[in-house]
Amino acid sequence: GAKGSGKAQWALFHDVMDIDYRQRQRLKSDLREALDKNELFLVYQPIVDIRDHRIIGCEALARWNHPELGRIPPSVFVPIAEEIGAISDLTRFVLTTAARECALWPSPLKVAVNLSATDFRTTDVAEMVRQSLVKTGLPANRLEVEITESTLIEEKQAVSKALTLLREQGVGVALDDFGTGYSSLSYLHALPFTKLKIDRSFVADITTSDRSLKLLSNIAKLSKDLDLTVTVEGIETEAQLAAISRAGDIDQVQGFLFGVPLPRREIAELVERVAYAPGDAFKMRAGKA
Ligand code: C2E
Ligand code: MG
Ligand code: MG
Ligand code: MG
């Protein structure tokens, strides 16, 4: 956790709106510098098959430990990167670093990378992805990009075009945080998604609310009808896992129950160890992100 009064104070900010003007100005100039000096890094969270709990891949998540202010969460620094025109630098760094790392893991483990709406507005996303694959030698089918519903709605034309080009390359495309925005499943049908990630807000009360479980189960069923791989995010407890398993039609789970996001060295050890060990032996329990 955050230590020292300065860091403890910053650890309380989860949203860019919580920050006042002066703090924001400081983060803007410091983030530019941090990107130039390679102070950002990635952590990787396992995504596991719901049936045998094998790791199928990991999601890469960006981290920034500010030398004085401590951990700044991506919910704060990603919008700032967008604002200062540095998002494509951040995304290029994340894509290349994640692809290089994944190329070291046992095949066919995959890596997933988050894209932002601004990426589609400012960059040729398909070309940027292609370059990261060429540079690292990672096969396209081991990379997946994740976009949120709001990205889809804000940049419909650019997203639609880029996703088609990414699919032609063989890159997977996931709709992230499903259920937090306003898109419908029929709307998604028009776009070449390969995966739907159901947001963790659906999981929170799944063990106490029959309606929540039914809702999740129906989203999963409709997604399967559209030939999408279904991942449920935010599984924290055995009880939630049991409820999800009963719901059916879910392929993969991700959450603190199976593993928190880990630095590259630790995830490399983990994937080496578990790639050859089926069953529950490698299930991890909640620790520190
Ligand atoms: P996301 O893509 O939905 O990533 C999952 C988030 O949920 C991560 O938060 C992860 O640490 C958290 N999480 C995973 N399992 C659990 C769980 O069981 N319980 C709870 N309570 N949380 C869980 P994180 O790393 O803070 O990232 C937040 C969001 O920031 C991400 O949501 C993603 O939208 C964005 N983000 C992170 N890295 C990047 C990046 O490199 N580029 C862009 N554009 N956005 C990023
Ligand atoms: Mg994601
Ligand atoms: Mg998500
Ligand atoms: Mg999320």
Q: How many residues does the chain have?
A: 289
Half-sphere exposure of 33 (CA within 13 A, CB side): 9
Q: Using a 6 Å cutoff on CB, does residue 95 contact ligand 1? A: no
State the Cα–Cα distance between residues 109 and 252, nearest whole angstrom: 14
- What is the number of the ligand closest to the CA of 43? 1
Q: Which two tokens mark 90?
A: 């951040």
- The predicted structure's pLDDT at residue 261: 97
- The predicted structure's pLDDT at residue 280: 46
Q: Using a 6 Å cutoff on CB, does residue 244 contact ligand 1? A: no
SS3 (DSSP) at 47: strand
Nearest atom (ligand 1) to Cα of 197: 3
- The burial class, CB within 10 Å (0-12 / 13-18 / 19+), for 153 is middle
- The predicted structure's pLDDT at residue 15: 67
- Burial code of 8-33, b = ≥16 C-beta within 10 A, e = fewer? eebbebeebeebeeeeeeebeebbbe
Higher pLDDT residue, 178 or 273? 178
Residue 181 Cα to ligand 4 midpoint, Å, equals 11
- The predicted structure's pLDDT at residue 16: 63
- The predicted structure's pLDDT at residue 253: 97
Average pLDDT, the chain: 89
pLDDT digits (tens, 9 = 90+) for 108-135: 999 999 999 999 999 999 999 999 999 9
Cα 95–97–100 angle (5° rounding)? 105
pTM for the predicted model, two decimal places: 0.92
With a cut of 70, say whether residue 217 has pLDDT above it: yes
Q: Which two tokens mark 164?
A: 């088609």
State the Cα–Cα distance between residues 91 and 62, nearest whole angstrom: 9
Q: How far is CA 99 from the centre of its chain?
A: 14
Least confident of 24-28, 56-60, 140-144: 24-28
Least confident of 102-111, 196-205, 236-245, 271-280: 271-280
Radius of gyration of the chain (CA): 19
- What is the number of the ligand closest to the CA of 262? 1
State the Cα–Cα distance between residues 75 and 77, nearest whole angstrom: 6
Least confident of 71-80, 240-249, 273-282: 273-282
For the chain, the maximum distance between any two Cα atoms, rounded to a whole number of angstroms, is: 52
- The one-letter amino acid code at 249 reads D
The structure tokens 């390359």 sit at 169
- The predicted structure's pLDDT at residue 276: 56
Strand partners, 70: 66
Query: Which backbone phi and psi does 285 adopt, to 5 degrees?
Result: -115, 160
- The predicted structure's pLDDT at residue 72: 93
Q: Stretch 221-229: mean pLDDT, rounded? A: 93
- The predicted structure's pLDDT at residue 289: 37
End-to-end Cα distance, the chain: 9
Nearest atom (ligand 1) to Cα of 42: 41
Q: Using a 6 Å cutoff on CB, does residue 82 contact ligand 1? A: no
Least confident of 131-145, 165-179, 273-287: 273-287
Residue closest to 73 by CA, chosen among 179, 151, 2, 176: 2
State the Cα–Cα distance between residues 119 and 114, nearest whole angstrom: 10
- The predicted structure's pLDDT at residue 97: 98
Report which protein residue has its CA nearest ligand 1's atom 21.
234
Least confident of 4-18, 50-64, 180-194, 265-279: 4-18
- The predicted structure's pLDDT at residue 179: 87
Higher pLDDT residue, 166 or 150? 166
Q: Using a 6 Å cutoff on CB, does residue 229 contact ligand 1? A: no
- The predicted structure's pLDDT at residue 275: 65
SS3 (DSSP) at 45: strand
Q: Stretch 78-104: mean pLDDT, rounded? A: 97
- The predicted structure's pLDDT at residue 188: 80
Residue 199 Cα to ligand 4 midpoint, Å, equals 6
pLDDT digits (tens, 9 = 90+) for 151-182: 988 899 999 999 999 999 999 999 999 988 77
CB atoms near residue 129 (< 10 Å): 26
State the Cα–Cα distance between residues 223 and 66, nearest whole angstrom: 40
Higher pLDDT residue, 86 or 152? 86
Looking at residue 74, the DSSP 8-state letter turns out to be H
Q: Using a 6 Å cutoff on CB, does residue 94 contact ligand 1? A: yes
**List of E strands, 4-141:** 40-49, 55-66, 70-72, 110-114
- The predicted structure's pLDDT at residue 177: 93
Strand partners, 229: 195
Instruction: State percent of the chain over pLDDT 90.
Output: 72
- The predicted structure's pLDDT at residue 53: 87
Q: Using a 6 Å cutoff on CB, does residue 75 contact ligand 1? A: yes
Looking at residue 86, the DSSP 8-state letter turns out to be -
